[in-house]
Chains A and B, each alone.
Chain A
Amino acid sequence: EPEVTQTPSHQVTQMGQEVILRCVPISNHLYFYWYRQILGQKVEFLVSFYNNEISEKSEIFDDQFSVERPDGSNFTLKIRSTKLEDSAMYFCASSERNTGANVLTFGAGSRLTVL
């Protein structure tokens, strides 16, 4: 079964460092997303991306965050200067469509620990 792949599975970084989380969505999917889950809290929407543009973003997704599809297969989330509160599990997801029965397929997540 097709799956969304995320790397790294766990990254530890120092506060203020830049981090790039990588995702390989399902090959025929056109819509891509990042969500995050701080330990013990709910899963939260960050951003959706289509046709090389951000479609929607939440208030969490401030200027410290950026997304990019650098080639035909990868989708990345960059955090420019990490803060302690950025420590979370970051989930990438993709979907075939964006209307109606829009089923998102999630990756296993990248755990980010900021020290």
Chain B
Amino acid sequence: KQEVTQIPAALSVPEGENLVLNCSFTDSAIYNLQWFRQDPGKGLTSLLLIQSSQREQTSGRLNASLDKSSGRSTLYIAASQPGDSATYLCAGSHNNAGNMLTFGGGTRLMVKP
């Protein structure tokens, strides 16, 4: 059974810092890996999706990488801003439909002005 772990559980950084959020998964037979953002009282917003054949994806200041052999994904946020404050969740799919996502516990990020 796939287990997804995120470290750290919480992170507080000053504005402008580059930061890395980590996600690890136990089953390397992963089909894709998604990163989501969750704001309090709101749903999950998909940030990036990396398919199993890909190594990384980029969107603006965000870059996500996937290393299936080591069971790891990282989300890199460049030049962090207070508006980036949220909980970041990674989720892996273990079927090729990509719909049964196994989520990590999230990293709660606070970017201080």
User: Which A residues have a C-beta under 8 Å from some C-beta of B?
Assistant: 4, 6, 31, 33, 35, 41-45, 48, 55-56, 58, 91, 93, 95, 98-109
Q: Is the CB of A105 within 8 A of B99?
A: no
B49 at the interface (CB under 8 A from A): yes
Shortest CB distance A42–B (Å)? 5
Q: Is the CB of B42 within 8 A of A55?
A: no
Q: Is the CB of A4 within 8 A of B89?
A: no
Shortest CB distance B5–A (Å)? 10
Q: Is the CB of A43 within 8 A of B99?
A: no
Shortest CB distance A114–B (Å)? 20
- CA distance in complex: A44, B41 (Å): 17
Q: Is the CB of B101 within 8 A of A104?
A: yes
Q: Is the CB of B104 within 8 A of A99?
A: no
Asked, given contacts A56-B95, A101-B49, whether A45 binds B43 with beta carbons under 8 Å apart, the answer is no
Look across to chain A and name the residue whose beta carbon is closest to the beta carbon of B54.
Answer: A101
Other A-B pairs, 4, CB within 8 Å; known A31-B99, A102-B99: A42-B104, A42-B106, A106-B36, A108-B41
Size bin of chain B's contact surface: 20 to 34
Kindly identify, within residues 15 to 53 of chain B, every residue whose CB is under 8 Å from any CB belonging to chain A.
Answer: 32, 34, 36, 41-46, 49, 51
Interface CB pairs A-B, < 8 A, 14: A6-B43, A42-B4, A42-B103, A45-B100, A45-B101, A56-B97, A99-B96, A99-B98, A100-B51, A102-B49, A106-B44, A106-B46, A107-B43, A108-B43
CB neighbours (8 Å) of A58 from chain B are 100
B91 at the interface (CB under 8 A from A): yes
CB neighbours (8 Å) of B99 from chain A are 31, 33, 48, 55-56, 95, 98, 102, 104
Look across to chain A and name the residue whose beta carbon is closest to the beta carbon of B103.
Answer: A43
B105 at the interface (CB under 8 A from A): yes
CB neighbours (8 Å) of A95 from chain B are 99
Look across to chain B and name the residue whose beta carbon is closest to the beta carbon of A91.
Answer: B43
Asked, given contacts A44-B103, A91-B43, A109-B43, whether A99 binds B32 with beta carbons under 8 Å apart, the answer is no
CB neighbours (8 Å) of A91 from chain B are 43-44
Which of A4, A42, A44, A56 is within 8 Å of B43, CB to CB? A4
